[in-house]
């Protein structure tokens, strides 16, 4: 069975809980939600400011 690109994009948005083209504010919210996980995963040697 083959799926169209549109079918795959729709399935992805349902799984991830957001649309393909999200705005800047929504992107920031998603980033902040995941920032602590990535900060912990990368450790101190990757936290260069």
Question: What's the domain range around 18?
Answer: 5-41
pLDDT reported for residue 10 = 81
Domain assignment present for 34: yes
Both tokens of 5, joined, read: 């690109």
pLDDT of residue 18: 64
pLDDT value at residue 19: 61
Q: Looking at residue 47, what is its pLDDT?
A: 60
Residue among 10, 34, 37 at smallest CA distance from 21: 10
**Residue 47 falls within a domain, yes or no?**
no
Q: Is residue 48 part of a domain?
A: no
Residue 21 to residue 19: CA distance in whole angstroms: 6
Supply 21's token pair. Answer: 């083209």
Residue 23 lies in a domain: yes
Does the residue 46 lie in any domain? no
In a domain, 49, yes or no: no
Q: What are phi and psi of 21, to 5 degrees?
A: -105, 95
**5-48 pLDDT, tens per residue?**
888 878 877 777 766 566 788 778 888 888 888 888 887 776 66
Q: How many domains does the chain have?
A: 1
Rounded CA separation 19/35 (Å): 20
Residue 19 forms part of a structural domain: yes
């Amino acid at each position: 069975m083959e799926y169209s690109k549109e079918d795959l994009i729709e399935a992805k948005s349902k799984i991830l809980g957001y649309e393909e083209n999200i705005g800047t504010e929504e992107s920031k919210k998603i980033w902040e939600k995941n920032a602590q996980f990535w900060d912990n995963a990368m450790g101190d040697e990757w936290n260069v400011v």
